[in-house]
Protein backbone atom coordinates (compact mmCIF):
# COMPACT_ATOMS: atom_id res chain seq x y z
CA UNK A 1 0.00 0.00 0.00
CA UNK A 2 1.29 3.44 -0.91
CA UNK A 3 0.24 6.62 0.89
CA UNK A 4 0.57 10.31 0.22
CA UNK A 5 1.02 13.39 2.40
CA UNK A 6 -1.86 15.71 3.17
CA UNK A 7 -2.43 18.57 0.77
CA UNK A 8 -3.41 22.11 1.68
CA UNK A 9 -6.51 23.57 0.07
CA UNK A 10 -9.77 25.37 0.54
CA UNK A 11 -11.28 22.33 2.24
CA UNK A 12 -9.31 20.76 5.07
CA UNK A 13 -8.48 17.05 4.74
CA UNK A 14 -11.15 14.97 6.43
CA UNK A 15 -11.68 11.43 7.66
CA UNK A 16 -13.00 9.80 4.50
CA UNK A 17 -13.76 6.07 4.38
CA UNK A 18 -14.38 4.00 1.27
CA UNK A 19 -13.10 2.70 -2.05
CA UNK A 20 -12.86 4.40 -5.42
CA UNK A 21 -12.25 2.36 -8.56
CA UNK A 22 -10.15 4.63 -10.71
CA UNK A 23 -9.58 4.03 -14.40
CA UNK A 24 -5.92 5.03 -14.27
CA UNK A 25 -4.79 7.01 -17.31
CA UNK A 26 -1.60 6.21 -19.22
CA UNK A 27 1.53 8.19 -18.43
CA UNK A 28 0.90 8.37 -14.69
CA UNK A 29 2.28 6.16 -11.94
CA UNK A 30 -0.18 4.52 -9.58
CA UNK A 31 1.03 6.71 -6.75
CA UNK A 32 0.69 9.88 -8.80
CA UNK A 33 -2.90 8.89 -9.58
CA UNK A 34 -3.57 8.28 -5.89
CA UNK A 35 -1.98 11.59 -4.95
CA UNK A 36 -4.17 13.50 -7.37
CA UNK A 37 -7.44 11.88 -6.30
CA UNK A 38 -6.51 12.25 -2.64
CA UNK A 39 -6.19 15.99 -3.19
CA UNK A 40 -9.51 16.11 -5.04
CA UNK A 41 -11.39 14.18 -2.36
CA UNK A 42 -9.56 15.93 0.52
CA UNK A 43 -8.89 12.73 2.46
CA UNK A 44 -6.52 12.40 5.41
CA UNK A 45 -5.48 8.82 4.73
CA UNK A 46 -5.27 6.96 1.45
CA UNK A 47 -3.59 4.04 -0.25
CA UNK A 48 -3.74 2.07 -3.47
CA UNK A 49 -3.49 -1.61 -4.18
CA UNK A 50 -2.27 -3.55 -7.18
CA UNK A 51 0.07 -1.06 -8.88
CA UNK A 52 -0.08 -0.57 -12.63
CA UNK A 53 2.90 0.37 -14.77
CA UNK A 54 2.86 4.04 -15.87
CA UNK A 55 2.02 3.08 -19.46
CA UNK A 56 -0.84 0.80 -18.38
CA UNK A 57 -4.42 1.90 -17.92
CA UNK A 58 -7.41 0.51 -16.09
CA UNK A 59 -8.71 -0.44 -12.70
CA UNK A 60 -6.73 0.87 -9.75
CA UNK A 61 -8.59 0.50 -6.44
CA UNK A 62 -7.98 3.56 -4.27
CA UNK A 63 -8.63 3.06 -0.55
CA UNK A 64 -9.44 5.86 1.86
CA UNK A 65 -9.52 5.90 5.66
CA UNK A 66 -10.67 2.62 7.18
CA UNK A 67 -10.77 1.03 3.73
CA UNK A 68 -6.96 1.06 3.62
CA UNK A 69 -7.20 -1.97 5.92
CA UNK A 70 -8.60 -3.92 2.97
CA UNK A 71 -5.60 -3.30 0.66
CA UNK A 72 -3.75 -6.48 1.57
CA UNK A 73 -6.80 -8.61 0.73
CA UNK A 74 -7.27 -6.93 -2.64
CA UNK A 75 -3.67 -7.77 -3.50
CA UNK A 76 -4.66 -11.44 -3.34
CA UNK A 77 -7.49 -11.00 -5.86
CA UNK A 78 -7.52 -12.34 -9.42
CA UNK A 79 -7.34 -9.77 -12.19
CA UNK A 80 -8.48 -9.47 -15.80
CA UNK A 81 -6.52 -7.63 -18.47
CA UNK A 82 -7.02 -6.71 -22.11
CA UNK A 83 -3.60 -7.08 -23.72
CA UNK A 84 -2.30 -5.79 -27.04
CA UNK A 85 1.00 -7.36 -28.09
CA UNK A 86 3.34 -6.18 -30.84
CA UNK A 87 4.80 -9.25 -32.50
CA UNK A 88 8.26 -9.33 -34.06
CA UNK A 89 9.90 -6.82 -31.71
CA UNK A 90 11.27 -7.35 -28.19
CA UNK A 91 12.15 -4.41 -25.94
CA UNK A 92 14.42 -4.18 -22.93
CA UNK A 93 11.47 -3.36 -20.65
CA UNK A 94 8.97 -5.74 -22.21
CA UNK A 95 6.62 -2.88 -23.07
CA UNK A 96 6.35 0.01 -25.53
CA UNK A 97 8.37 2.36 -23.29
CA UNK A 98 11.56 0.37 -23.81
CA UNK A 99 14.16 0.19 -26.56
CA UNK A 100 13.93 -2.49 -29.22
CA UNK A 101 16.63 -5.06 -28.51
CA UNK A 102 15.61 -7.87 -30.86
CA UNK A 103 13.53 -8.43 -33.96
CA UNK A 104 12.29 -11.65 -35.52
CA UNK A 105 9.96 -12.66 -38.33
CA UNK A 106 6.38 -13.40 -37.34
CA UNK A 107 5.15 -16.82 -38.49
CA UNK A 108 2.04 -16.93 -40.63
CA UNK A 109 -0.40 -18.67 -38.32
CA UNK A 110 -4.15 -19.07 -38.59
CA UNK A 111 -6.46 -17.85 -35.85
CA UNK A 112 -6.90 -21.47 -34.79
CA UNK A 113 -3.12 -21.88 -34.51
CA UNK A 114 -2.92 -18.81 -32.25
CA UNK A 115 -5.79 -20.05 -30.12
CA UNK A 116 -3.98 -23.35 -29.65
CA UNK A 117 -0.73 -21.55 -28.77
CA UNK A 118 -2.24 -19.31 -26.09
CA UNK A 119 -4.39 -22.11 -24.67
CA UNK A 120 -1.18 -23.91 -23.69
CA UNK A 121 -0.59 -21.26 -21.03
CA UNK A 122 -3.89 -21.81 -19.22
CA UNK A 123 -3.57 -23.44 -15.80
CA UNK A 124 -0.76 -23.54 -13.27
CA UNK A 125 2.57 -22.41 -14.61
CA UNK A 126 5.78 -20.66 -13.56
CA UNK A 127 7.15 -17.29 -14.61
CA UNK A 128 10.55 -15.72 -14.29
CA UNK A 129 9.89 -12.09 -13.25
CA UNK A 130 11.24 -9.45 -15.65
CA UNK A 131 14.23 -7.35 -14.71
CA UNK A 132 12.07 -4.26 -15.08
CA UNK A 133 9.94 -5.02 -12.02
CA UNK A 134 9.62 -3.77 -8.46
CA UNK A 135 10.89 -6.99 -6.91
CA UNK A 136 13.96 -6.64 -4.73
CA UNK A 137 17.36 -8.31 -4.88
CA UNK A 138 19.70 -7.60 -1.96
CA UNK A 139 17.59 -4.58 -1.03
CA UNK A 140 17.59 -3.09 -4.54
CA UNK A 141 14.60 -2.90 -6.88
CA UNK A 142 15.20 -4.98 -9.99
CA UNK A 143 14.34 -2.05 -12.26
CA UNK A 144 17.06 0.01 -10.56
CA UNK A 145 19.61 -2.67 -11.42
CA UNK A 146 18.20 -3.03 -14.94
CA UNK A 147 18.64 0.69 -15.60
CA UNK A 148 22.34 0.24 -14.79
CA UNK A 149 22.55 -2.57 -17.32
CA UNK A 150 22.73 -5.28 -14.67
CA UNK A 151 20.97 -8.62 -15.03
CA UNK A 152 20.60 -10.85 -11.99
CA UNK A 153 19.22 -14.33 -11.57
CA UNK A 154 15.50 -14.45 -10.70
CA UNK A 155 13.68 -17.46 -9.37
CA UNK A 156 10.62 -18.69 -11.23
CA UNK A 157 7.36 -18.04 -9.38
CA UNK A 158 4.11 -20.02 -9.61
CA UNK A 159 1.15 -18.24 -11.20
CA UNK A 160 -2.26 -19.40 -12.39
CA UNK A 161 -3.86 -18.43 -15.69
CA UNK A 162 -7.59 -19.04 -15.39
CA UNK A 163 -8.49 -18.12 -18.96
CA UNK A 164 -7.02 -16.57 -22.11
CA UNK A 165 -9.34 -15.55 -24.92
CA UNK A 166 -8.04 -14.43 -28.29
CA UNK A 167 -9.76 -11.24 -29.45
CA UNK A 168 -7.82 -10.23 -32.54
CA UNK A 169 -4.81 -11.22 -34.60
CA UNK A 170 -3.67 -9.20 -37.60
CA UNK A 171 -0.11 -9.04 -38.89
CA UNK A 172 2.07 -8.00 -35.96
CA UNK A 173 -0.91 -7.20 -33.69
CA UNK A 174 -2.18 -9.76 -31.20
CA UNK A 175 -5.00 -8.89 -28.78
CA UNK A 176 -6.26 -11.15 -26.01
CA UNK A 177 -8.03 -11.03 -22.66
CA UNK A 178 -6.48 -12.87 -19.73
CA UNK A 179 -7.91 -13.75 -16.31
CA UNK A 180 -5.00 -14.51 -14.00
CA UNK A 181 -3.82 -14.81 -10.42
CA UNK A 182 -1.95 -12.22 -8.41
CA UNK A 183 1.72 -11.89 -9.27
CA UNK A 184 1.27 -12.61 -12.98
CA UNK A 185 3.51 -10.49 -15.20
CA UNK A 186 1.66 -9.83 -18.44
CA UNK A 187 4.85 -8.64 -20.14
CA UNK A 188 6.44 -12.01 -19.41
CA UNK A 189 3.32 -13.85 -20.60
CA UNK A 190 3.43 -11.97 -23.91
CA UNK A 191 7.11 -12.80 -24.37
CA UNK A 192 6.52 -16.47 -23.51
CA UNK A 193 3.60 -16.78 -25.94
CA UNK A 194 5.67 -15.25 -28.73
CA UNK A 195 8.60 -17.52 -27.95
CA UNK A 196 6.34 -20.58 -28.13
CA UNK A 197 5.58 -19.84 -31.80
CA UNK A 198 9.13 -18.91 -32.74
CA UNK A 199 9.15 -15.13 -32.57
CA UNK A 200 9.52 -12.25 -30.10
CA UNK A 201 7.08 -9.62 -28.84
CA UNK A 202 6.42 -6.88 -26.33
CA UNK A 203 3.31 -5.54 -24.62
CA UNK A 204 2.17 -2.54 -26.64
CA UNK A 205 -0.89 -1.77 -24.55
CA UNK A 206 -2.22 -3.05 -21.24
CA UNK A 207 -5.61 -2.30 -19.72
CA UNK A 208 -6.79 -3.84 -16.44
CA UNK A 209 -10.51 -4.47 -16.63
CA UNK A 210 -11.28 -6.07 -13.26
CA UNK A 211 -9.85 -6.70 -9.81
CA UNK A 212 -11.58 -9.45 -7.85
CA UNK A 213 -15.34 -8.99 -8.03
CA UNK A 214 -15.19 -5.30 -8.99
CA UNK A 215 -16.76 -4.56 -12.37
CA UNK A 216 -15.27 -2.47 -15.16
CA UNK A 217 -18.44 -0.36 -15.41
CA UNK A 218 -17.93 0.83 -11.82
CA UNK A 219 -14.66 2.58 -12.66
CA UNK A 220 -14.38 6.36 -12.72
CA UNK A 221 -12.06 8.13 -15.17
CA UNK A 222 -9.70 10.78 -13.86
CA UNK A 223 -11.66 13.39 -15.84
CA UNK A 224 -14.83 12.20 -14.12
CA UNK A 225 -13.18 12.52 -10.72
CA UNK A 226 -12.04 16.05 -11.55
CA UNK A 227 -15.50 17.03 -12.75
CA UNK A 228 -17.18 15.64 -9.63
CA UNK A 229 -14.69 17.45 -7.41
CA UNK A 230 -15.55 20.78 -9.05
CA UNK A 231 -18.74 20.68 -6.98
CA UNK A 232 -16.69 20.08 -3.85
CA UNK A 233 -15.08 17.00 -2.28
CA UNK A 234 -18.48 15.76 -1.02
CA UNK A 235 -19.62 15.11 -4.60
CA UNK A 236 -16.63 12.87 -5.23
CA UNK A 237 -17.02 11.17 -1.84
CA UNK A 238 -20.53 10.19 -2.91
CA UNK A 239 -18.91 7.90 -5.51
CA UNK A 240 -17.12 5.84 -2.85
CA UNK A 241 -17.93 2.19 -2.29
CA UNK A 242 -18.00 0.72 1.24
CA UNK A 243 -14.89 -1.20 2.31
CA UNK A 244 -16.72 -4.54 2.47
CA UNK A 245 -17.56 -4.25 -1.25
CA UNK A 246 -14.07 -5.68 -1.77
CA UNK A 247 -15.08 -8.87 0.05
CA UNK A 248 -17.93 -10.05 -2.19
CA UNK A 249 -18.14 -13.82 -2.07
CA UNK A 250 -16.69 -14.12 1.44
CA UNK A 251 -18.61 -15.97 4.13
CA UNK A 252 -20.65 -13.53 6.21
CA UNK A 253 -20.66 -13.82 9.98
CA UNK A 254 -23.37 -12.07 12.01
CA UNK A 255 -22.72 -11.34 15.68
CA UNK A 256 -25.23 -10.92 18.47
CA UNK A 257 -25.29 -7.49 20.10
CA UNK A 258 -23.71 -8.80 23.30
CA UNK A 259 -20.62 -9.98 21.39
CA UNK A 260 -19.94 -6.86 19.31
CA UNK A 261 -17.91 -4.97 21.91
CA UNK A 262 -15.88 -8.04 22.83
CA UNK A 263 -15.06 -8.74 19.18
CA UNK A 264 -14.13 -5.11 18.54
CA UNK A 265 -12.01 -5.24 21.69
CA UNK A 266 -9.89 -8.04 20.26
CA UNK A 267 -11.57 -11.13 21.75
CA UNK A 268 -12.81 -14.24 19.97
CA UNK A 269 -16.56 -14.74 20.25
CA UNK A 270 -19.05 -17.42 19.30
CA UNK A 271 -20.98 -17.24 16.04
CA UNK A 272 -23.58 -19.15 14.09
CA UNK A 273 -21.48 -19.27 10.92
CA UNK A 274 -20.23 -22.58 9.55
CA UNK A 275 -16.84 -23.23 8.03
CA UNK A 276 -13.28 -22.12 8.60
CA UNK A 277 -11.04 -19.30 7.43
CA UNK A 278 -11.41 -15.57 6.88
CA UNK A 279 -14.92 -14.11 7.07
CA UNK A 280 -16.50 -10.66 7.00
CA UNK A 281 -18.13 -9.84 10.31
CA UNK A 282 -21.25 -7.74 10.93
CA UNK A 283 -23.14 -6.54 13.96
CA UNK A 284 -26.92 -6.94 14.39
CA UNK A 285 -27.46 -3.54 12.73
CA UNK A 286 -25.72 -4.80 9.53
CA UNK A 287 -22.74 -2.61 10.42
CA UNK A 288 -19.47 -3.96 9.02
CA UNK A 289 -17.18 -4.67 11.97
CA UNK A 290 -14.18 -6.12 10.22
CA UNK A 291 -12.46 -9.31 9.14
CA UNK A 292 -12.42 -12.34 11.40
CA UNK A 293 -11.04 -15.86 11.31
CA UNK A 294 -13.63 -18.56 11.79
CA UNK A 295 -12.68 -21.77 13.56
CA UNK A 296 -14.27 -25.18 13.24
CA UNK A 297 -15.84 -24.80 16.70
CA UNK A 298 -17.83 -21.78 15.47
CA UNK A 299 -15.78 -19.13 17.24
CA UNK A 300 -14.56 -16.11 15.28
CA UNK A 301 -11.40 -14.20 16.20
CA UNK A 302 -10.79 -10.62 15.01
CA UNK A 303 -8.10 -10.07 12.36
CA UNK A 304 -8.83 -6.51 11.22
CA UNK A 305 -11.22 -4.28 13.15
CA UNK A 306 -13.01 -1.39 11.44
CA UNK A 307 -14.23 1.67 13.30
CA UNK A 308 -17.99 1.61 13.56
CA UNK A 309 -18.34 5.27 12.68
CA UNK A 310 -16.11 8.00 11.35
CA UNK A 311 -16.52 11.74 11.45
CA UNK A 312 -16.90 13.24 8.03
CATH pick for 250-305 out of 2.30.130.10, 1.10.10.10, 3.40.190.10, 1.10.3720.10? 2.30.130.10
pTM (two decimals): 0.88
pLDDT digits (tens, 9 = 90+) for 128-176: 877 776 677 767 777 777 677 777 778 888 999 999 999 999 999 999 9
pLDDT at 273: 84
| Domain made up of 18-76+217-245: CATH architecture | 2-Layer Sandwich (3.30)
Active-site pick, 53, 92, 95, 259: 53
- On whether the 79-211 domain is CATH 3.30.2350.10, my answer is yes
* Contact residues for 12 (Cβ-Cβ < 8 A; gap 6+): 42
* Contacts (Cβ under 8 Å, ≥6 apart) of 112: none
Average predicted confidence (pLDDT) for the chain: 90
Q: Please say if 53 is a catalytic residue.
A: yes
| Strand ranges (E), 144-238 | 157-170, 173-180, 201-211, 220-221
Which pLDDT tens digit goes with each residue over 223-271? 999 999 999 899 999 999 999 999 988 999 999 999 999 999 999 999 8
Amino acid sequence: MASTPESPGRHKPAVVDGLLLLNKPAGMTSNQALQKVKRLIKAKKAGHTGSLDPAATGMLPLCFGEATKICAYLLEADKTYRVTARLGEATDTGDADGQVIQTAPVPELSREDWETAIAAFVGDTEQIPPMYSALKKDGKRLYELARKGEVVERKARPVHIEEIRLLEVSGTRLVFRVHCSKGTYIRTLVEDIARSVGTVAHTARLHRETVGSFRAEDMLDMSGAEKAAEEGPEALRARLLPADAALTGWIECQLDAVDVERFCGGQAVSSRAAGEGLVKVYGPDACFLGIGELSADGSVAPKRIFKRSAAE
